[in-house]
Amino acid sequence: MVQPPAQRCVLVTGSTRGIGRGIAERLIADGAVVGLHGRDLDGVKLTATELHPERALPFSADLSDPASAKDLVDRFVQATGRIDGLVNNAGSGRAIPFRALTVDSWQQTFRINLEAAMVASQAAYTLMRKQKRGAIVNIASLSAHGPGKWMGADYAASKAAMVSLTQSLALESARFGIRCNAISPGFVETDMTNDLPDALRGDLGIPLKRMATPADIAGVVAFLLGEDAAYMTGQVLHVDGGMWMNG
């Protein structure tokens, strides 16, 4: 078995706020060098300074153009010399009724939520094959496993496709010592959920009676990237407070 490097180098997309920032913060605390990503370089630099001036490396890219994801991975590797982990967290979505969907809005959601993750994963996988090791974690969603309910059909479909992508890559990459897993969060306390009315919060039906924190998701990401999950690949872990039990 190839031994892990003393200090991991992990790229986390969409990591200036919310779940992504929480993931970056946890990985830095665990000793990793982390590539932070966002659209606005000044904002990414500010986040890097706040988290760790030396081990948080800022990168900007607009992933609404999926081709930019390869350049993002390449720039990260140029800065670090390798890539031990990739977390595809960047995404977008909004609650929209099916009748209001357009082909353009559907394609835009897929470009950011799925195609950019595919391109980034392909670039990282190519490099990880040479290393004979690596781990990829995709942030899917509870919406991937049934009707969107609180999100649009475009969002749910893109996240369902991410689950399929995760398992396809896991099967192909396993013989090279590369693992690929996914996490399906439920509701997470971020700036995107701050405005949820109390009535809706009480109607979510979360068995654990609270939303997740970014740290709840980050802990599972850290596990899947680490050696304690060395024999896990192709898995999709529900980190949703038990919401999956409600169907």
The 10 Å Cβ neighbour count of residue 168 is 12
Q: Which of the 8 DSSP states describes residue 240?
A: S
Q: Cα–Cα distance between 24 and 43 in angstroms, integer?
A: 15
φ/ψ of residue 185, rounded to 5:
-75, 160
- Distance from first CA to last CA of the chain, Å, rounded? 40
Q: What is the token pair recorded at 147?
A: 């009707």
Region of residue 241 (phi > 0: left; psi between -120 and 50: alpha; otherwise: beta) = left
Q: Is 155 a catalytic residue?
A: yes
Of 155, 157, 214, 241, the active-site residue reads 155
Q: In what order do the strands lie in the sheet with 33-38?
A: 56-60, 33-38, 9-12, 85-88, 134-139, 178-185, 236-239
The set of catalytic residues is 155
